[in-house]
Amino acid sequence: DTAVSQTPKYLVTQMGNDKSIKCEQNLGHDTMYWYKQDSKKFLKIMFSYNNKELIINETVPNRFSPKSPDKAHLNLHINSLELGDSAVYFCASSQGAGLSTDTQYFGPGTRLTVL
């Protein structure tokens, strides 16, 4: 069984469109994250939710809006897509909210290409 799953795996879309990426974890974890990995493989945390509450919100354009309907899901909605949004987006989860102390489990990633 997949622990952290993301859909879709690939997403190709035009500039200006709105798109969503879904993430689900079946590990019973309390905390979920979104990371962005750019073309140079640089990984940066975007958001973190603990028990459906936002606890980390890095400097990310407000076109990006995470939504956590329940503890097991953290979706990422992106409005007015731009070329620079092209990247691989990773979802992750951990038992607790401590980035330092809690092992994060990553999903397989969603490769977003904006044309």
Partner 1 sequence: AQSVTQLGSHVSVSEGALVLLRCNYSSSVPPYLFWYVQYPNQGLQLLLKYTTGATLVKGINGFEAEFKKSETSFHLTKPSAHMSDAAEYFCAVSEGTGNQFYFGTGTSLTVIP
Query: Whole-number minimum distance, CB 115 to partner 1, in Å?
Result: 21
- CA dist 40 → 43, 86, 87, 88 (Å): 9, 12, 10, 11
Contact assessment for residue 104 and residue 93, using Cβ atoms and an 8 Å cutoff: yes
Chain centroid offset of residue 112 CA: 12
Nearer to partner 1, 15 or 43 (CB): 43
Q: Which residues bind partner 1 (CB under 8 A)?
A: 4, 40-45, 48, 55-56, 90, 92, 97, 99-101, 103-104, 106-109
Nearer to partner 1, 14 or 39 (CB): 39
